[in-house]
Amino acid sequence: MDEKLMKKAKKRVEEKKGFYGHLSTYIAMAIFFMVMNFVTWDGEFWFFFPLLPWGVGLLIHYFSVFGLPFNQILSSDWEDKELAKEIQRLQQKKGVDVSEISDEQLELRELEKQKSKDWREEDLV
């Protein structure tokens, strides 16, 4: 198995594990605060005050790990999927096996396209 792929998969699993640990702690503390509120009942509900900012932090943690629901732009897989789409598009457009093309050649081709479209000769160094 590819070592780079394995490393990326382990990192992703660790991110998910971290979120679930955060969620578990949040739930345990929510129960603790609720119990404390009812044990020290003075006619007011206060247990949700510490939970609100913590919940916002938990929500941000969720978005950083899983991305926005129905919009995968912030997810960690989005870049990989877009890269795969771009490689597929290049393969179809050129009819070439992209695995034979180096990254430097791809960058040079893109620069040549841009040069012919957008740049004037005096803009170049």
84 pLDDT higher than 90: no
pLDDT band at 31 (very low <50, low <70, confident <90, very high): very high
Q: What number is the average pLDDT over the span 33-53? A: 94
Distances 119 to 76, 86, 111 between C-alpha atoms, Å? 34, 24, 10
Gap between the Cα atoms of 87 and 81, Å rounded: 10
CA nearest 23: which of 72, 60, 50, 76? 60
Distances 94 to 2, 26, 29, 69, 90 between C-alpha atoms, Å? 28, 52, 57, 35, 6
* Token couple for 90: 């290049």
pLDDT band at 91 (very low <50, low <70, confident <90, very high): confident
CA nearest 100: which of 87, 83, 86? 87
pLDDT of residue 9: 87
124 pLDDT higher than 60: no
pTM (2 d.p.): 0.58
Look up residue 92 and give its amino acid. Q
Q: What number is the average pLDDT over the span 104-118? A: 57
pLDDT of residue 68: 79
Count other Cβ atoms within 10 Å, centred on residue 36.
12
- Distance from chain centroid for Cα 23: 18
C-beta separation of 78 from 67 below 8 A: yes
